Amino acid sequence: MDIEEQYDKIYRFCFYRVGNRQLAEDLTQETFLRFLDSRYKESGKQMGYLYTIAGNLCSDEVKRLRWTEVPLDENMPDGGRFCENLIDRVFLETIMQRLTEDERDLLVLRYVNEEPDSLICRQMNISRFALYRKIASIRRRVDQWMGGEMYGRKRTGKRPGEIL
């Protein structure tokens, strides 16, 4: 995997932790610099190592921001203004506000960065079965929160306009 791809993945991971693009970029770059400093010896776990560094940096940053009483973006990426689409915004807001940090990480690693299950399990220190259970639980809850209709057209077979 080349550094450009890794950069994007770490950026997205940081973004969902801190909810701010500028800060996410800063943290991504800091992650890579720390990674270089650590003199990592290649053992096939580079991406996991990067996620760990990024996660720690983000946690520190969130703590620091709370300490200095600088408001985070209302638990919502860029205050919700990054999404033009209304339903997307509602969906994302729900995810950001109601899911825990671990659950958000799981979604990001699985659906956004499309990391293999083995890496996610190792990263989150859970078994493969636990991972599937967690994902099913998240999806069920998101469905419930959103009323089940927002992405249910294929399931219901109804035309747009008849769905809601």
Binding site for other proteins (CB under 8 A): 3-4, 7-8, 11-12, 15-16, 21, 24-25, 28-29, 32-33, 36, 39, 73-74, 76-77, 79-93, 95, 107-108, 111-112, 114, 139, 142-143, 147, 149-155, 159-164
Burial (0-12, 13-18, 19+ Cβ within 10 Å), 147: exposed
Burial (0-12, 13-18, 19+ Cβ within 10 Å), 112: middle
CB of 112 to other proteins, least distance (A): 5
Query: Which residue number, 15 or 51, has a Cβ lying nearer to other proteins?
Result: 15
CA distance 71 to 59: 15
CB of 32 to other proteins, least distance (A): 6
CA distance 155 to 149: 9
CB of 56 to other proteins, least distance (A): 19
